Chains A and B, each alone.
Chain A
Amino acid sequence: MVVVEQLNRWYTIDKKRHQILKDISFHVKRGDFVLLRGVSGSGKTTLLSILAGLEKPSSGKVLIDGEPIAKLPDIHLSHFRAKKVGIIFQHFNLIDSLSLQDNVLVPLVALKIGLQEAKAMAERALKSANIAHKSEAYPTKLSGGEKQRGAIARAIVADPPLLLCDEPTANLDRANSLLFIDALHKLHQEGKTIIVATHDPIFDAIDFPHTIIDLKDGQIV
């Protein structure tokens, strides 16, 4: 599902090269659950955003579902993001001026899906994320846990095979974090490939099979 080979990412500021990721290589099989661990600044957010196609690598190869995404023109990369990847952000990233349902519609608009069908899909996603009762509400009126469930609904609405989570529990209390992990577990059982970038120790206690990749100073240890 995910193949990363010899991946490097650096920035050049004032002719000085800052290496963020160095020679990263790993494989993730379809249906795997991967924990990407490391302290802040270890490069896990950068790695995740490269996997999501939000950022381009400086060199190396990235294949998602057989598609090399490192050098893809914007239209194709965007289409890939809408169809293949669901992203759950640390700050949820819901658009405040839109109701929850309309927020969930956003990826479907990019996929040019008709309004009737899109609304039905959004309704289903909201139901399976257990937040359908708040579909008319605006993000500012929702609690952290509700926002997170809304974000899950949006990530899965187009039924992507790959889910990427960036510090998903950083803004949740313990009870909501556990609920979130339950939800991820359910999605994992449904066959989704899931990669979670986190340094929250709560994930150490998960009791279903998973792989761990530890990052330190931009390298896998």
Chain B
Amino acid sequence: MLNNSFFYFFTLSLFKNRKRYFAIVTISTLVIFLLSSVLFLSDSIKYSINSQLELEPDLIVQKRLGGRVVPLDESIVDTIAEIYGVSQVTKRVYGRYYFDKEYSALIFGVDFLDEQSSKALAKLLNREDLKRFLSSESMLVGEGVFNYFKSHFYPKAYNFLTPSGKIKSVKILKVLDRRSNLFSNNLIILPQELAKEILGLKSNEISDIALNVPNPDEAANIQRKLEGLFLNAFISGKREMQKEYENLFNYKGGLFLALYLIVVMTLSLILYQRYSLANSLEKREVAILRSLGWSIKDLLGLKALENIMLVLFSFTLGLFLGYLYVFILKAPLLSELFLGKNLQTQIEFLPHIDYLSLATIFILYATTFLSAVLIPVWRVATTEPKEALS
């Protein structure tokens, strides 16, 4: 490599002509930057949702009447627990509490006598002093909820209004960890009995039942059994949820990408234009090289190397800037576009890069770039050497 005169000449000409490439590199880098930011962002969100989903129970049993989810009777739990291949059957109580028209939070009741099905919740609670939580009527709240309480002058406790019209005062025990805010931001965790009271459930009623199926091959089988268990049973699985999220993100990301194809097409037009207008200086240089014994093949090789370097350089630079923007600067503007502004979430974007996404950006960019410049490059490389004589 070091003793290769062609390579020496290549690096030399690349370096000496760097001004010529400035505009191309700038615009390409910008395009890569935009594209990679969007993909970094959507991958990161997808990743945190997926890692949350991993902690979710495998199957959920609900009762639905006319499409509405209605409370279940507790007694069914024992029947389910007897099905072979099922583990960690948990009664769940949850629902939405509307503080006012604009703001609502998810109330989640935990039963400490029961096995904790949701491993995520178990993790959150282990850190708290359980005894204190049980001894008094208190709650764990997400940061969004806490901020709402504070701004409405309830820094220590909040007075809930139950459906039967009673006022229920509950102390704030602790604000939940800021990590994985996507889920816990608007969450209130209460003891189950208290939650039932606030949500207006009877004491023998629960919202739904969660369970795990350790052997994934059994999942379909067990789902069938559960569906036959009682009238109006509705079973949903984790895999379906994953699929739904995947589709949702494909939809959001795909929309961006569809817009993006337009940008990339524009880029290819700009590149084609710029390369076609190859200035007379460059044509003259090529004519001189040809007259001194460079073949068309040599020149095509030189130009190919040159353009591959440009592609790699602007790709790396754009990617680096995209990473900086999303994970260091927390993607201002773009995150609002992506998540919606009124969602009161403060998301920690966990640096997670999907290599298939990187490959996707690279293939889109490299194909466009190289296809666009191919013909103009060939035209310059086949400049007649006799033009050097004039």
Selected interface stretch from A14-22, A112-120, A127-135, A181-189: A112-120
Q: Give every chain A residue within 8 A of B6 (Cβ-Cβ).
A: 109, 112
- Asked if B295 CB lies within 8 Å of chain A CBs, one says yes
Residues on the A chain within 8 Å of B297, using CB = 74-75
Whether the Cβ atoms of B389 and A110 lie closer than 8 Å is no
A170 within 8 Å of B by Cβ?
A: no
Instruction: Evaluate contact between B293 and A98: CB separation under 8 angstroms.
Output: no
CB contact under 8 A between A111 and B293, given known A97-B13, A97-B17: yes
Name A60-74 residues within 8 Å CB distance of B: 74
Pick from B5, B288, B389: contact of A105, CB below 8 A.
B5
The SS class assigned to the A binding surface is helix
CB distance from A84 to the nearest CB of B (A): 9
B8 located at the interface, meaning its Cβ lies under 8 Å from any Cβ of chain A in the complex: yes
B294 interfacial contact with A, CB 8 Å = yes
- Complex Cα distance, B386 from A13, in Å, reads 18
Which residue of B is nearest A138, CB measured?
Answer: B16
Residue of A nearest to B2 (CB): A115
Which of A23-31, A48-56, A172-180, A210-218 interfaces with chain B?
Answer: A48-56
A109-B5, A109-B6, A115-B8 known; A78-B290 Cβ under 8 A: yes
* A42: B residues at CB distance < 8 A: none
A87 pairs with B292, CB closer than 8 A: yes
**Chain A CB within 10 Å — which of B5, B12, B285, B385 has the most?**
B5
Interface 0/1 of A147-180, CB less than 8 Å to B: 0000000100010000000100000000000000
Q: Which of B5, B8, B12, B384 meets A112, CB within 8 Å?
A: B5
When the two chains form their complex, are residues A74 and B295 in contact, meaning their CB atoms are under 8 A apart?
yes
- Asked if A95 and B285 make an inter-chain contact with CB atoms under 8 angstroms apart, the answer reads yes
Query: Which chain A positions have C-beta within 8 A of B295?
Result: 74-75, 77-79, 110
Main secondary structure of the interface of B (DSSP, over half): helix
A98 in contact with B4 given A54-B291, A81-B292, A82-B292 (CB within 8 Å): no
- Assess whether B5 is in contact with A89, with CB atoms less than 8 Å apart: no
Query: Nearest chain A CB to B205's CB is how many angstroms away?
Result: 82
Chain B min CB distance to A16 (Å): 21
The answer for the CA separation of A45 and B388 in the assembled complex, in Å, is 12
B305: CB under 8 A from chain A? no
| A105 & B9 in contact (Cβ 8 Å cutoff) | yes
Within 8 A of A (CB), among B240-295: 285, 288-295
Q: List chain B residues, Cβ under 8 A from A78.
A: 290, 293-296, 298
Any B CB within 8 A of the CB of A83: yes
Identify A118's interface contact among B5, B13, B298, B389, CB under 8 A.
Answer: B5
Q: A79-B293, A115-B2, A115-B3 are in contact. Are A110 and B298 (CB under 8 A)?
A: yes
Tell me which of A54, A110, A116 contacts B386 (CB under 8 A): A54
Q: How far is the CB of A65 from chain B (nearest CB, A)?
A: 15
Residues from chain B with a CB closer than 8 A to the CB of A55 are 384, 386
Chain A nearest Cβ from B9, distance in angstroms: 5
In the complex, which residue of chain A has the Cβ closest to the Cβ of B15?
A: A97
Residues of B within 8 A of A45 (CB): 389
**In whole angstroms, how far apart are the Cα atoms of A199 and B304 in the complex?**
42
- Whether A97 contacts B5 in the complex (CB less than 8 A), given A49-B386, A52-B291, A74-B295, comes out as no
Contact of A116 among B3, B16, B289, B290 (CB under 8 A): B3
Cα–Cα distance between A102 and B388 once the two chains are bound (Å):
18
Given the complex, which residues of A lie within 8 Å of B16, measured CB to CB? 97-98
Interface 1/0 per residue, B6-40 and A, CB below 8 Å: 10110011001100000000000000000000000
- Shortest Cβ distance from residue B15 to the other chain A in the assembled complex, whole angstroms: 9
Q: With the chains together, A90 CA to B386 CA distance in Å?
A: 13
* A35 at the B interface (CB under 8 A): no
Give A82 to B385 CA distance when docked, in angstroms. 13
Q: How far is the CA of A34 from the CA of B293 in the complex (A)?
A: 23
Cα–Cα distance between A105 and B9 once the two chains are bound (Å): 9
B288 to chain A: closest CB distance in Å? 5
Whether the Cβ atoms of B293 and A114 lie closer than 8 Å is no
In the bound complex, residues from chain B placing their C-beta under 8 Å from that of A52 are 291
Choose from B289, B385, B386 the contact partner of A106 (Cβ within 8 Å). Answer: B289
Chain A residue contacts of B389, Cβ below 8 A: 45, 48-49, 54, 89-90, 166
* CB of A43 closer than 8 Å to a CB of B: no
User: How far does the Cβ of B296 sit from chain A's closest Cβ, in whole Å?
Assistant: 5
CB distance from B241 to the nearest CB of A (A): 60
A89 touches B285 (CB 8 A): no
A108 within 8 A of B: yes
A sample of 27 cross-chain residue pairs with beta-carbon separation below 8 angstroms, ordered by A number, consists of A45-B389, A48-B389, A54-B388, A55-B384, A55-B386, A74-B295, A78-B298, A79-B293, A79-B295, A82-B292, A82-B294, A89-B291, A97-B13, A97-B285, A98-B12, A98-B13, A102-B12, A105-B5, A106-B292, A107-B293, A109-B5, A109-B298, A110-B289, A110-B294, A114-B4, A115-B2, A115-B3
Q: A75-B295, A114-B3 are known; give 6 further A-B pairs, CB within 8 A.
A: A49-B386, A54-B384, A55-B386, A81-B291, A105-B5, A110-B294
Q: Which B residues lie at the A interface, using CB under 8 A?
A: 2-6, 8-9, 12-13, 16-17, 285, 288-298, 384-386, 388-389
